Structure 1
Amino acid sequence: MHHAIAKYFESSPGDGEAAGHCGSARLLPWANADGNPCYLVGDGTGYVSRIADSVECLQLDMADGLLGHAEDMLACQRVTSPELRFLARGLADALRDVRRIAESRGARLPPPDQGLDEGED
């Protein structure tokens, strides 16, 4: 399935929202072929949402593993410059994925309670 059209697979026919409405759109953990973000409009319980959840879990696990590998490599005194560049590329990719996941999940959080005083925790 082409991920850029995923937004059409979970929208309810009678919900009155346009497919491009971003108020309830979920940022998906992948980009289209041009590198643009993909969004999904729906209630979060459909097939594409479950795939997105699985991809996010895999991306977070990979980032965690890469972080452990980076710590090991940086502790080693014989790491070559090409190895460090390769590590930096992997870390940059993982950071981009984790940032996209954080943005997506943050956008789906309910708005904070406006009745609380700023000083309360």
Structure 2
Amino acid sequence: MVEAVQLRTGADLLGHARPLLRDHHANARELRFVGHRLAEALHDALRVAESRGRRLEDREETATEQS
């Protein structure tokens, strides 16, 4: 499932980003790179959340209609 891959990738990225952000010797290029990747991962996570929220709403509407 694409969503699972996106969330796993974001979690992996966060694991790499935290040490880099704590490294006082990290240069601007490294920090910009990780910042861009984190923004992409956040974008993906928000899309997953929106998609799952819509699916939950659809289930609730279907359940209400069947009642």
TM-score (norm 2): 0.81
Runs of 4 or more, structure 1, over 4 Å off, are: none
Larger Rg: 1
Distance 2:35 2:24 in 1: 17
* 1:78 equivalent in structure 2: 25
* Gaps in structure 1 of 5+ consecutive residues: 1-53, 112-121
Aligned residues: 58
Higher share in strand: 1
| Unaligned residue ranges in structure 2 (runs of 5+) | 61-67
Higher helix share: 2
TM-score using structure 1 length:
0.46
Identity %: 47
Structure possessing the higher relative contact order (Cα contacts under 8 Å, 6 or more residues apart): 2
Cα RMSD over matched residues?
A: 0.9
Q: Quick one: distance in 2 between partners of 1:104 and 1:65? A: 22
